[in-house]
Amino acid sequence: MHAETLLRIDRDHLIHPVSAWRDHEEAGARILRSGKGAWLTDIHGKELLDGFSGLWCVNAGYGCQSVVEAATEQMARLPYATGYFGYASEAAIELAGRLAAKAPGNLNRIFFCQGGSDAVDSVLRFIRFFQHARGTPQKRHVIGLAKGYHGSTYAGSGLTALAAFHRDADVPLSWQHHIPSPYPYRHEGDGQDSTIIADSVAALQQKVAEVGAANVAAFFCEPVQGSGGVIVPPRGWLAAMRRACTELGILFVADEVITGFGRTGPLFACETEQVVPDMMTVAKGLTSGYAPMGAVFMSDEVYETVRDNTPPGVPIGHGMTYSAHPVSAAIGLAVLDLYEGGLLANGVAAGRHLASRLTTLSEHPFVGDVRISGMLAGIELVTDKTSRRKPDPSLGLSKKLAALGYRDGLLFRAFADDVIGLAPPLCCSIEEIDLMCDRLTRIIHEIA
Ligand code: PLP
């Protein structure tokens, strides 16, 4: 179809996720046609180096033939199998087995869904089943972080604490609460790791006391907060929060939708601090974006409590037509082969190089903070390094940055006018990381 026709139909008919509808109609879409490795090509033939892995999901890069073949084979042989009524597909069973073997601790039970949002929503429902099963149904309140992102379903968007997801949406719900995020660069105390960790633990304890320990079910967090501005907590924070949850008698839920599957180095970010959550959500890198799929990892204890307290013949009422879709599962298996066959190791090496290149940006007068965890990076811009003043929103910096990135053939994310996010595919070569950093450095020099 001709570019002009596509632009017109897009403007007239396609509603884009999390977009300013008026602005989108005015600006029009940037329409992508193909991809290979870390590179995308748009409908005008312009080549773009993808520094954001689509939406931090295409960890394996584009055009992986083994993944395409696995999907094609599954689609030709059995495109769909329900998980209802006791049926299952071979691919879904195999994937669940392989993931359970790789998962932290006793997260041996896996529920597949379609993405990160419904993984979070599923956890919220599983929490209800769990609390009813153990005879504590009043434990219904959940606590998240003030810069957390947990998807866009009705309940998940309330647990998400970003203003854009709350505006005119009547969330958070009455049982959803937030405590301050660990944010080393903007910590109001002395900024020491130990203080930041102690402050988070104290904030959680205080919130639980405020809501009443008998009423709180769970604490949710991302090991690295992604959409809140790529905020990396101090080493030890995750383990301290896990311990605090155990002491407070509440579930610890790790949302690894971004951090899972090598984004921060290991297969799961929880591994870095030997943390075993009670439940864990994943999506994105699970299929590397080749098809929609999310998953909930559930501990044996949670699973068994629900199982053992539900009478035989009574179904646990949660599931979707596309739970454990066999094509997505076949893709998940092929992608897992790639992670195990060198992709994770390549991501670790490329991440080290990314860190060494990006830290030099700290010297720029308008770069306040550079934070990196594996192949996940945030660069926080300020107009004054001493006062750490944020850029004036009227400058429209994120729009300008996105336009310059497109002009220079680099995709990255510009958050809320002051943070640039990078999440390159794990398959990137050192030369591609260099090119990405060269282009980004030029853009930052141009706007500042
Ligand atoms: N949780 C986290 C931490 C995420 O970053 C996201 C999406 O970016 C979600 C949940 C929602 O995932 P999805 O967009 O696949 O619904």
Instruction: Kindly report, residue by residue over 358-370, the tens digit of the pLDDT.
Output: 999 999 999 999 9
pLDDT in tens, 279-292: 999 999 999 999 99
Whole-model pTM: value is: 0.98
Q: Which two tokens stand for residue 77?
A: 């042989």
Task: Identify which of 153, 284, 322 to mutate to test ligand 1's pocket (most ligand atoms within 8 A of the CB).
Answer: 284
The yes or no reply on domain 66-338 and CATH 3.40.50.10320 is: no
The span from the CA of 416 to the CA of 409, in Å, is 21
Average model confidence (pLDDT) across the chain:
97
3-state secondary structure 408-430: CCEECEEECCCEEEECCCCCCCH
Q: Domain 3-64+340-447 is in which class? A: alpha beta
- pLDDT of 172: 96
- Using the mean position of ligand 1's atoms as its centre, give its distance from the Cα of residue 121 in Å: 11
pLDDT in tens, 188-219: 999 999 999 999 999 999 999 999 999 999 99
The span from the CA of 63 to the CA of 100, in Å, is 27
Q: Which two tokens stand for residue 18?
A: 């999390």
- Using the mean position of ligand 1's atoms as its centre, give its distance from the Cα of residue 364 in Å: 32
- Using the mean position of ligand 1's atoms as its centre, give its distance from the Cα of residue 68 in Å: 24
The span from the CA of 50 to the CA of 174, in Å, is 40
- pLDDT of 397: 86
- Using the mean position of ligand 1's atoms as its centre, give its distance from the Cα of residue 268 in Å: 15
Task: Identify which of 53, 238, 257 to mutate to test ligand 1's pocket (most ligand atoms within 8 A of the CB).
Answer: 257
Tally DSSP H helices, then E strands, for the chain: 15, 15
Provide the 10 A C-beta neighbour count for residue 77. 12
Provide the 10 A C-beta neighbour count for residue 387. 9
Q: Under DSSP, is residue 354 helix (H, G, I), strand (E, B) or coil?
A: helix
Which ipTM was obtained for this model? 0.99
Provide the 10 A C-beta neighbour count for residue 232. 22
- pLDDT of 126: 98
Residues of the chain with pLDDT under 70: none
Residues whose beta carbon lies within 6 Å of some atom of ligand 1: 115-117, 120, 149-151, 222, 226-227, 255, 257-258, 283
Estimate to the nearest angstrom the gap between the alpha carbon of 100 and the chain centroid: 20
Q: Where are the domains of the chain?
A: 3-64+340-447, 66-338
- Using the mean position of ligand 1's atoms as its centre, give its distance from the Cα of residue 433 in Å: 25
Atom number, ligand 1, closest to the C-alpha of residue 56: 8
pLDDT in tens, 137-157: 999 999 999 999 999 999 999
